[in-house]
Amino acid sequence: MLELYHWEPNANSGKPIITLKEKGVEFTSRYTDLLNFDQHKPEYLKINPNGTIPTLVHDGYMLAESSQMGEYIDAVFPGPPLRPAEPVERWRMRWWTKFFDIFFGPSLSMIGWSIFVGPMVRQKDPEELRQAIERIPLAERRVAWTEAIYNKFSEEELAESLRRVIHGIEVFEKGLANRPWIAGSSYSLADINAFCMVYALPAMQGEHCNEQKTPRILDWLRRVYARPAILESFKLGRTPLAERALDVIRQIGAT
């Protein structure tokens, strides 16, 4: 029995979805609507008491943390290997995974929460929102939600996030020199991880991520978008975030 509790096929939820699709592993998709606070409901907290998404449930185990989930899926299920065997390539895969998880991802996420999640959720009844915030189990997530709902991200925080995103784009562009995939010769979990963060950059940060400034990222994006697992994964999306991927495909001429 393999179940994946996930939200949209991007950021953290995208990692296990794309990994499972890439390996051709059948799973039960449990769409968990982050904008409806499904992840804080009692039935979900029985599965993952931290109230975060995604969560993988397999053979009675509950596995959280999307990047480590990818390693588990690759180790346990058949299908094309997504962890390079060669030690330097495996090190590079983990280096880039960490870079996207702790440097690039959180900054991009803060911008995303300020322009997408906050405005979408703010439409709800204020009392309902107050109660929803109270139910959040992790203090740091309560802070993030409070900032998003009440539009409390400071200009300094957003400017610093944008600086990190722009710097991250430059670092990533350099990282793609001299090798077809992030870790080296083969498509790996690092490419999946990066794609989940970067897939919409030509639309969201077109000034900094475009054919002239970042040709290697654009070329890499076209090759990742061309993989059948990617479009299959976006079919699990239910918000405009998934449609945005289709817009980017048209914009950059990916198939």
Ligand X SMILES: N[C@@H](CCC(=O)N[C@@H](CS)C(=O)NCC(=O)O)C(=O)O
Which chain residues interact with ligand X by CB under 6 A? 7, 11-12, 34, 39, 51-54, 64-67, 136, 141
Closer to ligand X at the Cβ: 113 or 186? 113
Nearer to ligand X, 7 or 181 (CB): 7
Shortest gap between Cβ of 64 and ligand X (angstroms)?
6
Instruction: Name the minimum Å distance from CB 214 to ligand X.
Output: 24
Closer residue to ligand X (CB): 145 or 225? 145
The nearest distance, CB 91 to ligand X, in angstroms, is: 20
Query: Least distance in Å: CB of 180 to ligand X?
Result: 26
Q: How far is the CB of 38 from ligand X (least distance, A)?
A: 9
Q: Is 9 helix (H, G, I), strand (E, B) or coil?
A: coil
Distance CA 248, CA 240 (A): 12
Question: Which CB atom, from 197 or from 218, has the smaller least distance to ligand X?
Answer: 197
Contact 150, 44 (CB under 8 A): no
Which residue has 């490419």 as its token pair? 191
Minimum CB distance to ligand X, residue 54 (Å): 6
Closest CB to ligand X among 48 and 186? 48
Structure tokens that stand for 50 in this block: 């931290």
Compare residues 138 and 176 and give the one whose CB is closer to ligand X.
Answer: 138
Residue 32 or residue 205: which is nearer to ligand X going by CB? 32
Smallest distance, Å, CB 191 to ligand X? 17
